[in-house]
């Protein structure tokens, strides 16, 4: 079975400081990994996916299969980055079914 | 465009009463559908997922059940609610887009069992 681990429940950084939200996964197959974000009073939404290798709102995440990690990084935190961040893994379960497993989330607080 | 509707937004129910939360998706067919419970410190816990009509996979043994009577309808139910069923419930569907796959979430239902 797959598992997603986010070791930090809460991360506080000062504005302008670098941010790294950690995510480790456990999955025997080839994973599809994501970061989702939930801003205050908004729906949970996709931030970025590993296959896109894109930078969204200054955030990047690199899949490291050797370390089974998918850490989210941003060089300079902004106040508007304060939100709840979830790492997620999509795994094929057979017969067209995909299981979406989320970590417990990390609350990022950017201090002005 | 694809949209997901979930209702009600809030619900207060007495212990022992039944529950029915509904989720519908528009603009897509044969979606993978999911029910999650979101709790502080516990993140998003996958409760049920479904690949098609009448096909339900349960991830966590509990007092809840799910059904998929129609392709784009997913229902979370309970015959008798417990206090521990209180929480925030989210419905989601898995979309396949040109850039990759993405989960789309409903607005959520805040359930309080009293």
User: For the segment B88-106, what is each residue's pLDDT rounded down to a tens digit?
Assistant: 999 999 888 777 888 999 9
**What percent of chain B lies above the pLDDT cut of 70?**
97
Which of B43, B55, B101 is nearest residue A86 as measured by Cβ atoms? B43
Interface of B with A in 12-71 (CB under 8 A): 30, 32, 34, 36, 41-44, 46, 49, 51-52, 55, 57, 59
Work out the pLDDT band at B30, boundaries 50, 70, 90.
Answer: confident
Is B42's pLDDT higher than 80?
Answer: no
For residue B34, the chain A residues in CB contact (below 8 A) are 100
Mean pLDDT by 10 residues, chain A (112 residues): 92 97 92 93 91 88 92 97 96 82 95 96
- Asked if the Cβ–Cβ distance from A86 to B44 is below 8 Å, we say yes
Q: What per-residue confidence (pLDDT) applies to B27?
A: 85
Helix (H), strand (E) at residue B69:
strand B65-70
SS3 A81: helix
- Residues A26/A72, Cβ–Cβ less than 8 Å: no
Measured CA to CA in angstroms, residue A88 lies from A2, A31, A50, B16, B102 at distances of 10, 10, 11, 34, 11
- Segments of chain A assigned E as strands: 3-5, 10-14, 19-21, 24-26, 32-38, 45-49, 60-61, 72-74, 83-94, 97-102, 106-111
Q: What per-residue confidence (pLDDT) applies to A93?
A: 79
Q: What per-residue confidence (pLDDT) applies to B98?
A: 76
Q: What per-residue confidence (pLDDT) applies to B1?
A: 67
Burial class (CB in 10 A: 0-12, 13-18, 19+), A38: buried
- Asked if the Cβ–Cβ distance from B100 to A51 is below 8 Å, we say yes
- Asked if the Cβ–Cβ distance from B57 to A44 is below 8 Å, we say no
């Amino acid at each position: 079975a797959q598992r997603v681990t986010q070791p930090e429940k809460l991360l506080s950084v000062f504005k302008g400081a670098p941010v790294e939200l950690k995510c480790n996964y456990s999955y025997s197959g080839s994973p599809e990994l994501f970061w989702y974000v939930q801003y205050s009073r908004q729906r949970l939404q996709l931030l970025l996916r590993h296959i896109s290798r894109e930078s969204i709102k200054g955030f990047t995440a690199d899949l490291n299969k050797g370390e089974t990690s998918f850490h989210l990084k941003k060089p300079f935190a902004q106040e508007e980055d304060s939100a709840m961040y979830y790492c997620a893994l999509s795994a094929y379960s057979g017969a067209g079914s995909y299981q979406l497993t989320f970590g417990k989330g990390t609350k990022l607080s950017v201090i002005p | 465009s694809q949209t997901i509707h979930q209702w009600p937004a809030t619900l207060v129910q007495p212990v022992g009463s039944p529950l029915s939360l509904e989720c519908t998706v528009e603009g897509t067919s044969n979606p993978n559908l999911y029910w999650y419970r979101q709790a502080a410190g516990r993140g998003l816990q996958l409760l049920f997922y479904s690949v098609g009509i009448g096909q339900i996979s349960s991830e966590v043994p509990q007092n809840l059940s799910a059904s998929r009577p129609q392709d784009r309808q997913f229902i979370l139910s309970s015959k008798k609610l417990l206090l521990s069923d209180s929480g925030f419930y989210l419905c989601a569907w898995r979309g396949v887009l040109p850039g990759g796959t993405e989960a789309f979430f409903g607005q959520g239902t805040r359930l309080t069992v009293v």
